[in-house]
Structure 1
Amino acid sequence: MSTATLTADAHRQDPPLNPVPLRQDAAVIGLVGLAHGTSHFSHLLLAPLFPVFIRDFGLSFSDVGLLMTVFFIISGVGQALAGFLVDRVGARPVLFAAISCFLVASLVASQATSYAGLMAVAMLAGLGNAPFHPADFTILNQRVSPQRLGYAFSAHGLTGNLGWALAPAFLVGITSLADWRTAYLGAAVLYVGVLALLFWQRDKLRTEVVPRSTAASRAASGGDLAFMRLPVVWWCFAFFLLSTMTLAVIQSFAPSIMKAVHGVSVEVATLTVSAYMLCGALGMLVGGFVAAANPLSSDRIVALAMAAGALLLLVCATGWLGGQGTLVALAITGFAVGVGGPSRDMMIKKATPKGATGRVYGTVYSGLDLGFALSPALFGLLMDRGWYATTLAGAALVLGLSVVAAVGVGRRT
């Protein structure tokens, strides 16, 4: 080896492990997190004011429940289709269109005079909610450094939980100070502010569209739907469906179960969901560090987190812990499930073929919407019969089955 070569080697420096500045990654993560928060806010655009609609429009619980079913059906079907659109045109324009749908939905809600108007709101909000996961994860996977993706997925889940927490306080709070129509005008102003900020920072949300192959090569590979032949995609779908069914049971029935089984007050019973969601947000924060430190073990981390949650739910179903003990155990369940959230998204990333991020995330996350649509109806039958312990045990069972799905993803990635 020549002296010149040795000298060059001695002065050559390895490239930094993470050349992208933290500020740049943090800006992308913050903007996508803000957008995701508006999505979860819109999940509860109608539900907190159901008692008002029942009173003002003479509706039944079945009537208002159907609004949420329509929301999640449109969101679920639209989410699978939106993934194709994101891969074709990029995530940024789709994201802007989605938030615009929320803005229009809020304006329509502020002028609604009948059940038909509320149904239009549910349809518009469901359409707006559809593209978020394929758009968000396409931006994060393309614009955030690989070493910081675990933290990005953690922040993404955290902001979603905060959106859920904000919506009831925002809508009910303004309604109590003015009226519900003013509350929806306030929501419209909120969406305008978010849309303006994202548009101002739009350069940070730009994604590259993967060049489409020739017609011949697409035909040989199976075309745009080739990813649907991969078993791992459907194992991911099954995981989201099952784990979301458990979350829907907690959101829909935990207060009623606490009140009926343990005789706690309405205030304490309502606190159950808040405690679960807040601890879930804390778990996601911790889970971001876990995912970043163990990127190759994401499926095992998810399986362990869901298994811990399922065991805690089974203990709650026994009634041995009493009212306060059950409240604490459910909160810890939220934390355990939250810890697995960032690793869950890392697990999906590893299972996604190159160039199909939008399509895979859209298809997989449509299982989330399906879980939200099916679970209240299925477990509501148990609740109607007064089988409260069985309802919690059933939620534990489906969460346990999600462990099997997570292991299935790991084995097939």
Structure 2
Amino acid sequence: MPPAAASPPARHDLEAISLIGFVHGVSHFFHLLLPPLFPWLMKDFGLSFTGIGATMTIFFVVSGCGQALAGFLVDRFGAAQVLGAGIGCFLLAALLLSVVDDYTGLTLVAALAGLGNSVFHPADFTVLNRQVSPPRLGHAFSIHGLSGNLGWALAPVFMTGIAATLGWRSAALAAALLAALALLLLFWCRRSLADPPGSDQADPAVELGQAGTVNSPFAFLQSGAVWMCFAFFLLITTAFGAIQNFATPILQQLHGLSLAAGASALSAYLVGGAAGILSGGFLARRGAHERLIAAALGTAALLVVALATLPLPQWAVLPLMTGIGYCTGIAGPSRDLLVRRAATSRFGQAAYGRVYGFVYSGLDAGLALAPIAFGAFMDGGRFTAVLIGIAVLQGLAILTAWRVGGTALPADA
């Protein structure tokens, strides 16, 4: 038997993981290019909450639609070029924000930032799957998720701190500088992201059902596993969006927390999620990803139900929110590996961009859907119903993960 191909050295893996982690953090930073500046923008342009909030709807609609299409560009032109284009959109969005003088300009900023954001998941995961050795992929996906959380954490402090001292236009210019630095780093390290020889060729042995070999760029849409992955992201991200948007007022109403305590509980949820992502990278190495997802999300759902129905003392809310975030975070790396299995088992490496782009468009759809789906419950004072709805979404996500595990063939990883 011929010897197996040598795995890439640890240094090569570390370089790819670090670079992709950094640019993913930048993409999450630009999720929050506008929201930290809402108080200043509303005042200067005379906008309502509905008007300024619509800019984020534009962001996620453009990002979701663009993400499904960006996967084709990644497969055609390579991840490095597409990542560069995405960061270039961020740079243009921040520069435009620094000079914008009306609401139309703000909507253009949101659309440009959403277009830039659309490329990162298909490009990031294509690079990680092609450049990182399989034994380290769980850790790679863990760092990828953690870096996104750090980008979210940095943006409000960075943007509001500069806006409060130098003005919001200066904050926009500072964000543009960050995008320019990221673009320079990406150009400097572009060779680390180059596709390995032959990775853009479809595997002639891969077949789809009874249809013969896969020879259409849209063949992945015939796969039930791919659709189940999309549904998983839609469900789990709608649940996350509901917590992110409404946890603070819900905890104030159900458990009598102050505004500051409710915000602290939400922060505890996000910190718990980051810790869970790190733990999930180690646990994912054991395989059985759908079982790990089921255990983690099942526990999270039970904790959410407890939060909704039990007369908890105020001191118990924060650790409970931390536990919900931790369990949800554990599922992250296994989730990404499950998508990889759905892609490689039927379509080979040539379809990474398309599969990840389509599947992760469910993330943007969930974030856009959450305020609409749960806003009516909040307006009606049905706070317990919101939490129960979150638990139901997590339970449905478990079912989709099991479905993916049953329909995706064993991957070659």
TM range (shorter): over 0.9
Residue 399 (structure 1) aligns with: 394
Please report how far the alpha carbon of residue 369 of structure 1 lies from its aligned counterpart in structure 2 after TM superposition: 0.5
- Map residues 2-151 of structure 1 onto 2, 5 A cutoff: 19-151=7-139
Please report how far the alpha carbon of residue 56 of structure 1 lies from its aligned counterpart in structure 2 after TM superposition: 1.8
Higher alpha-carbon Rg: 1
Amino acid at match of 1:254: A
Residue 299 (structure 1) aligns with: 290
Please report how far the alpha carbon of residue 285 of structure 1 lies from its aligned counterpart in structure 2 after TM superposition: 0.6
8 Å contact kept, 1:276–1:331: yes
Residue 233, structure 1, aligned to residue 223, structure 2: no
Please report how far the alpha carbon of residue 392 of structure 1 lies from its aligned counterpart in structure 2 after TM superposition: 1.0
Change (3 A) 1:402 1:109: same
Residue 211, structure 1, aligned to residue 206, structure 2: no
Please report how far the alpha carbon of residue 55 of structure 1 lies from its aligned counterpart in structure 2 after TM superposition: 1.8
Residue 390 (structure 1) aligns with: 385
8 Å contact kept, 2:202–2:351: no
Residue 334 (structure 1) aligns with: 325
Q: Work out the percentage of aligned pairs sharing the same amino acid.
A: 48
Residue 366 (structure 1) aligns with: 361
Change (3 A) 1:68 1:219: farther
8 Å contact kept, 1:174–1:180: yes
Secondary structure of the 2:218 match is: helix
Please report how far the alpha carbon of residue 220 of structure 1 lies from its aligned counterpart in structure 2 after TM superposition: 7.1
Secondary structure of the 2:217 match is: helix
2:274 to 281, 284, 295: 281
Amino acid at match of 1:245: T
- 2-structure distance, mates of 1:130, 1:79: 4
Query: CA RMSD, aligned part only?
Result: 2.0
- 2-structure distance, mates of 1:346, 1:24: 20
Structure 1: where are the runs of 5+ without partners? 1-8
Residue 246 (structure 1) aligns with: 239
1:257 to 250, 256, 262: 250
Farther-moved stretch of structure 1 (64-73 vs 137-146) = 64-73
Change (3 A) 1:48 1:322: farther
- 1-structure distance, mates of 2:213, 2:269: 48
- 1-structure distance, mates of 2:260, 2:165: 21
Structure 2: where are the runs of 5+ without partners? 409-413
- Map residues 133-172 of structure 1 onto 2, 5 A cutoff: 133-172=121-160
- 2-structure distance, mates of 1:97, 1:219: 36
Residue 381, structure 1, aligned to residue 369, structure 2: no
Farther-moved stretch of structure 1 (319-328 vs 367-376) = 319-328
8 Å contact kept, 1:258–1:323: no
Please report how far the alpha carbon of residue 383 of structure 1 lies from its aligned counterpart in structure 2 after TM superposition: 0.3
8 Å contact kept, 1:139–1:205: yes
How many residues end up aligned between the 2 structures? 397
Secondary structure of the 2:200 match is: coil
Amino acid at match of 1:210: D
Residue 411 (structure 2) aligns with: none
Please report how far the alpha carbon of residue 370 of structure 1 lies from its aligned counterpart in structure 2 after TM superposition: 0.3
Q: TM-score, normalised by structure 2?
A: 0.92
8 Å contact kept, 1:95–1:135: yes
1:175 to 163, 167, 171: 163
Change (3 A) 1:51 1:261: farther
2:313 to 317, 322, 325: 322
Amino acid at match of 1:340: A
Instruction: String of CA shifts for 1:36-73, please: whole Å, max 9, x gaps.
Output: 00111111111122222222211111112211111111
